[in-house]
Amino acid sequence: MPMFDGIKSGLARRKLLKARGVEPRCVRACGLESANKVGILHDATDEAQFEIARKLLFILQKHISFVKALGFVDSKELSDFHLQPLEFSFFCKNDLDWLGFPKEESIAEFCDTDFDILICLDMEDKIPINYVKIKSKAGFKVGFYSETNSDLLDVMISLNEENSSVEELVKQILHYLENIRYE
């Protein structure tokens, strides 16, 4: 089995590279002040992390007309706490192919939305979430600093080890996005 896992991992990395494409994205820097559509991509496996994404969505809805969230649930089924407002969509292991990539129909609507900003709240390197980052048509992608994310995000937030939490990531992302202004 370990040999198969190595082959599977190599094929998954190759598919991620291929999904990025050869044409560079046209990055459109945007702050919260000028955003009309914001997407939130998050790991929704843990209820506490889901609640953080939910609070962020409600904060953003006070100022932005269109906010939508997509969460990955790292199990075969959704839990009761995933049955939430319409602004949330989820995909789980049952929505993945044999390499661990989301089937297009489970993420298509979210990825095809032309978000001004995509806020990525994941702090671990998970293939399904990274694939959504690549496929998203968002003009400006913001999230956690990692080597993997350097090819996937436009702005990365680095956190020190003692403050490395999703709550702190949200706080820092909001701080930076509130301070991006154009004259």
Query: What pLDDT, in 10s, does the model give residues 91-123?
Result: 999 999 988 889 888 899 999 999 999 999 999
Token representation of residue 157: 């937030």
- Whether 7 maps to a domain, the answer reads yes
Sign of the CA dihedral 5, 10, 15, 17?
positive
- Whether 143 maps to a domain, the answer reads yes
- Whether 131 maps to a domain, the answer reads yes
- Whether 32 maps to a domain, the answer reads yes
DSSP 96: B
Query: What pLDDT, in 10s, does the model give residues 120-165?
Result: 999 998 999 999 999 999 999 999 998 888 888 999 999 988 888 9
- Answer whether residue 1 shows pLDDT above 60: no
Burial of 71 (C-beta count, 10 Å sphere; 0-12/13-18/19+): buried
Contact, 41 vs 170, CB < 8 A?
no
Could you give the CA distance from residue 102 to residue 27 in angstroms, rounded to a whole number?
24
- Whether 48 maps to a domain, the answer reads yes
The reported pLDDT for the residue numbered 163 is 81
- Beta pairing class for 88-92 and 37-43: unpaired
Could you give the CA distance from residue 125 to residue 54 in angstroms, rounded to a whole number?
21
Structural domains of the chain, count? 1
State the average pLDDT for the chain: 86
- Whether 183 maps to a domain, the answer reads no
Q: Which domain covers residue 101, as residue numbers? A: 2-178
pTM for this model (two decimals): 0.88
Domain with residue 23: its CATH number is 3.40.50.2000
